Amino acid sequence: MKPVNVGLLGLGTVGGGTVNVLKRNAEEIARRAGRGIVITHAAARDISKARICDTTGITLTTDPREVVDNQDIDVVVELIGGDGLAKEMVVRAIENGKHVVTANKALIARHGNQIFAQAQKKGVMVAFEAAVAGGIPIIKAIREGLAANRIEWLAGIINGTGNFILTEMRDKGRDFADVLAEAQKLGYAEADPTYDVEGIDAAHKLTILAAIAFGIPLQFDKVYTEGITRITREDVAYAEQLGYRIKHLGVARRTAAGIELRVHPTLIPARRLIANVDGVMNSVLVKGDAVGPTLYYGAGAGAEPTASAVVADLVDVVRTLTSDPNNRVPHLAFQPDALHDIPILPMAQVETAYYLRLQAQDKPGVLADVTRILGDLDISIEAVIQKEPSEQDSSVAVIMLTRRVREEKMNQAIAHIEALAAISAPVMRMRMESLK
């Protein structure tokens, strides 16, 4: 049978890895797909640049339109990134009747509703397994493997850069800025690390996971997003003393009132498996009503781990090239006309437990004032640690763990606590999840 011709947009790290995996495992992939898969054309900004892959036999161009408009190309693989040129090329490929595979989480999170509607209309597939958690097949697991379940919640470490930083801070007692500089030197973080450390990258991925888990439209603009830049090595150490670890977590939960969508630093009991996922690795915990909790772990980035997901999508596309478009696996797991417009809860309505760190003057009555404020708002205290005053000043660090309470109540409590004359710095607040 005639091989399927693939056009590749982008020959960077993932593009090069995709070429290598397809060439190295060509026979095995053909056995799985039922026919060969061959990259015949590729676009890159600089075609003379040294690559991690052998491009022999591939026609190279600097103009991606030449690939997208080529009549001999059956599937376009978009690995450009961003949602500018990438969106233009994906839309153009769909209009040309070509199937699309992409690793672009920003594109899917921000424009996926439009792209999937267009693909449905044209009868083509858009596959995006590599957009979330690199080589972990988490999208396929939720969309197909857990199709019998009503997904109750999911929580994931879905950004390797942030996880590397928090791991180093915990294991070596280092400061955030110091570890970030090393992450940049090692290539884990970009020169501008905002997307990683402020949670935007994780929010893109959480948007996609939540849509597939709950059968809702993609709604990136409604994800509550908070970064890790305010976390100190002292916070990491205090959490350890209390039996917790800090992870930058993406959480999506179905409640009676609506869907929670949030990315923020989170204290997790140290005994949980996901709390022990270290370095640049990713992990996603999914709770279904029938199967219970299931955990997925693996490399969240890198040339060949991500290429593994890209090529798996190519195999899926090739397997279904001749199938009825109306009977393919839906892009967002649920049939397009069966998506529910369930409300997304504002963060103020989310209920969780909290870690609070206060810097207070070391004098009688201060702790009583704080506990009175919490008590007046029906916020119960789970644990308290008071550190010794430092030699430099007379203030002390007070760490509190609370029981579950609505965020709006905690916001009020923090405002009242910070207004006390004896509190000398803004309150550090992190949320806590037991993930039972």
Are 266 and 194 part of one and the same domain?
A: yes
CA 296 from chain center: how many Å? 13
Q: Which of 237, 268, 299 is the last residue of a domain?
A: 299
Residue 346 lies in a domain: no
The pLDDT of residue 391 is 66
Are 108 and 88 a contacting pair, CB within 8 Å? no
**Please, which residues bridge with residue 395 across strands?**
361
Are 267 and 368 part of one and the same domain?
A: no
Q: What percent of the chain has pLDDT over 90?
A: 86
Non-local CB neighbours of 170 within 8 Å, separated by 6+ positions: 236, 237, 240, 245, 246
Q: What is the CATH number of the domain that holds 181?
A: 3.30.360.10
Average pLDDT of the segment spanning 409-429: 95
Are 331 and 405 part of one and the same domain?
A: no
Are 265 and 329 part of one and the same domain?
A: no
Q: Which of 282, 317, 338 is the last residue of a domain?
A: 338
CB atoms within 10 A of CB 315: 17
Is pLDDT at 128 greater than 90 in this prediction?
A: yes
Is pLDDT at 414 greater than 90 in this prediction?
A: yes
Are 355 and 418 part of one and the same domain?
A: yes
Residue 112 lies in a domain: yes
Which of 54-68, 85-99, 108-122, 378-392 shows the lowest mean pLDDT across its residues?
Answer: 378-392
Are 245 and 196 part of one and the same domain?
A: yes
Residue type, 380: S
Residue located via tokens 């990134």: 81
Non-local CB neighbours of 349 within 8 Å, separated by 6+ positions: 257, 258, 406, 407, 408
Average pLDDT of the segment spanning 36-59: 94
Residue 307 lies in a domain: yes
Length of the chain: 436
Are 111 and 16 part of one and the same domain?
A: yes
Q: How confident is the model at residue 436 (pLDDT cuts 50, 70, 90)?
A: confident
Residue 184 lies in a domain: yes
Are 232 and 149 part of one and the same domain?
A: yes
Residue 88 lies in a domain: yes
**98, 205, 247, 287: which is the annotated catalytic residue?**
205
What pLDDT digit, counting tens, does each position of 179-205 carry? Answer: 999 999 998 998 899 999 999 999 999
Residue 343 lies in a domain: no
Are 182 and 60 part of one and the same domain?
A: no
Number of domains in the chain: 3
The answer to whether the Cα torsion of 334, 328, 155, 190 is positive or negative is negative
Annotated catalytic residue 205: yes
Q: What percent of the chain has pLDDT over 70?
A: 98
Are 145 and 221 part of one and the same domain?
A: yes
Residue 344 lies in a domain: no
Q: How confident is the model at residue 168 (pLDDT cuts 50, 70, 90)?
A: very high
Average pLDDT of the segment spanning 228-242: 96
Residue 87 lies in a domain: yes
CA separation for the pair 310, 435 (Å, rounded): 30
Is pLDDT at 364 greater than 70 in this prediction?
A: yes
Are 333 and 365 part of one and the same domain?
A: no
Q: What is the CATH number of the domain that holds 101?
A: 3.40.50.720
Domain that residue 93 falls in: 4-135+303-338
Are 9 and 112 part of one and the same domain?
A: yes
